[in-house]
Structure 1
């Protein structure tokens, strides 16, 4: 059985996530303490106690989700499971930083600082109210791309942002253009078109200022080759080259999250089991809707860690 480790992205956060890991494993406590030290604040208190509206802020949610994923990873390591036992790692959007930290490419401290910057840069790239995102259900990627093209033809930006699989594609761009796409989606054959309660239009060309800030920060970051290849969002293909990883992380800010294609690539290259490490079960839920060859398990609590380690 070939395994891939996958790490969740924004939307999987919940107040109290990771608390059982903190309580049960010294190795997990050390991760939360390292993140707190790196950021110069008690992010762990916000993770465990809320309030939810502060945890949900992009600049907090991104390092918080990484902290919980790495706390789970360190707990697994304490039970004898290593990232090197997998064939690949992958992460949904910010989850790529978690995947790279788990695979030894980047330190937890550097990942926390980069994700804090990434969250702020993405939030500040577009003035509040000027951008929007929406989920389009029941159309394939080609039909959604055509829908976006028609909406943008009248002005503004409208682009596919996340191809999550299972007939769910998220679009992103200027508020007016996204609204036009939502309004015309039923006529194009969509089952539903749902505006999303997000604070900025992520993963589209409006994020270029954030990409430039991340390019500067990543130039200074120390990256090592991962112990197993990363299947990156922006290309849906593997790499172990630190310079290529750096470049793909920059492209990811404005580029589409090709999650469906990434999971299909894994299935076509011998992976049969996904282990979702961190908060929630979003990626596990998507797995079999993307490819029925993929079995998935979620590991984000002390009980799940012990169960997985016991086989």
Structure 2
């Protein structure tokens, strides 16, 4: 069976996530290594601090560390995917899973990315559920400073931009639900250009190896193993849209029959099910999930 691993991003975090992974071989060493790099404990925050866990500066590294531990546990069980993809922050875990860079390199990138995004203070994001896509496209075309940031499925997108721009778009369309997101800025939009420029300087000297597993990136969802392409695509990600609907469709094109969501929650599995016929989904977010599906 052809399988893809997909990795959730910010918004999937939940208090208590990852704590049971301490019982997995080598996980404690990874948590300890992360604490040295970050200067704080992923386990402590995930176990005890709901406020910090919801803060971008902490959310993104926590998700990266936990998802990487799950990747390692799957590989230790002899399990490998035929393709990988991650939603926003999750793309860093996909690149780690494909051995484009090592754990430490990825965590340092995620740490700096999270700090830059946490400092963003202009604009915001709103999720739209149940809308006419043509009507939405026309409204965005007529409204400055608003873009589709996450194209998740035919029925769900996230728009990003100025508060006035978002309000104007929502007023011009029929939408079942419009949900403002608790984020500090207009992520995945041109309003993140300053953060993206700083991140690009940090990213530039880092070596990306060719991937050992094909990766579908957010900004260019065609599977590739070319390390230079993957680096350029990651460099564009902070301002570029997350094209998850297209990634889901590409999984079908690749002949993927099963998507394993590696990390907390079931959001990506749900999006894939709504977009693709014939792809089953599996949740892999805890030690019990691992043991149930891939017993040692």
Give the TM-score range, shorter chain: over 0.9
Q: Given the two structures, how large is their TM-score scaled by the length of structure 1?
A: 0.91
Q: Per-residue displacement from partner, 1:4-27 (whole Å, max 9, x unpaired)? A: 1110100001111011111x2122
Q: CA distance change for structure 1 residues 16 and 6 in 2, over 3 Å: closer, same or farther?
A: same
- 2:202 is the counterpart of 1:217: yes
Alignment partner, residue 39 of structure 1: 38
Residue 5 of structure 2 is matched in structure 1 by 5
Q: Distance in 1 between matches of 2:202 and 2:138?
A: 35
The answer to whether structure 1 residue 178 and structure 2 residue 166 are counterparts is yes
- 5+ long unaligned stretches in structure 2: none
The residue that corresponds to 2:186 in the other structure is: 201
Using the alignment, how far apart are the partners of 1:29 and 1:226 within structure 2?
Answer: 26
Match of 1:163 in 2: 151
Q: Is it true that 1:132 corresponds to 2:127 in the alignment? A: no
Aligned with residue 77 of structure 1, among 63, 75, 78? 75
Cα deviation, residue 145, structure 1: 2.4
Q: CA deviation at 1:30?
A: 2.2
5 Å-filtered alignment, 1:285-300, equals 285-300=270-285
1:258 equivalent to 2:256? Answer: no
User: Contact 1:7 / 1:96 at 8 angstroms: preserved in 2?
Assistant: yes
Distance, in Å, in 2 between the alignment partners of 1:6 and 1:252 is 17
* CA deviation profile, 1:276-306 (whole Å, cap 9, x unmatched): 1111111112111111221110111111111
1:63 alignment partner, one of 57, 61, 68: 61
4+ long deviations beyond 3 Å: 140-143
The equivalent of 2:103 in structure 1 is 108
Report the CA distance between 1:40 and its aligned residue: 2.5
Question: Separation in 1 of the partners of 2:73 and 2:216?
Answer: 23
Map of 1:93 onto structure 2: 88
d(CA) in 2 for partners of 1:194, 1:45: 30
Q: Tell me if the contact between 2:119 and 2:184 (Cα under 8 Å) persists in the aligned partners.
A: no
Q: Specify which of 284, 291, 296 is matched with residue 306 of structure 1.
A: 291
Cα deviation for residue 166 of structure 1 reads: 4.7
* Native 8 Å contact 1:275 1:298 kept in 2: yes
Change (3 A) 1:166 1:19: farther
**Change beyond 3 A, Cα 1:221–1:241:** same
Distance 1:185 1:198, change over 3 A: farther
CA drift of 1:310 comes to 4.0
Deviation at 1:246, TM superposition (A): 1.0
- 2:176 paired residue among 174, 184, 191: 191
1:270 to 248, 252, 255: 255
Q: Hey, what's the Cα distance between the residues in 2 that align with 1:104 and 1:31?
A: 16
Cα pair 1:144 1:160 within 8 Å, conserved: no
User: Counterpart of 1:171 in 2: which secondary structure?
Assistant: strand
Q: Is the 8 A contact 2:27 2:69 kept in 1?
A: yes
Residue 144 of structure 1 contacts residue 169 of structure 1 at CA under 8 Å; is this kept in 2? no
Q: Under a length normalisation based on structure 2, what TM-score does the superposition of the two structures give?
A: 0.95
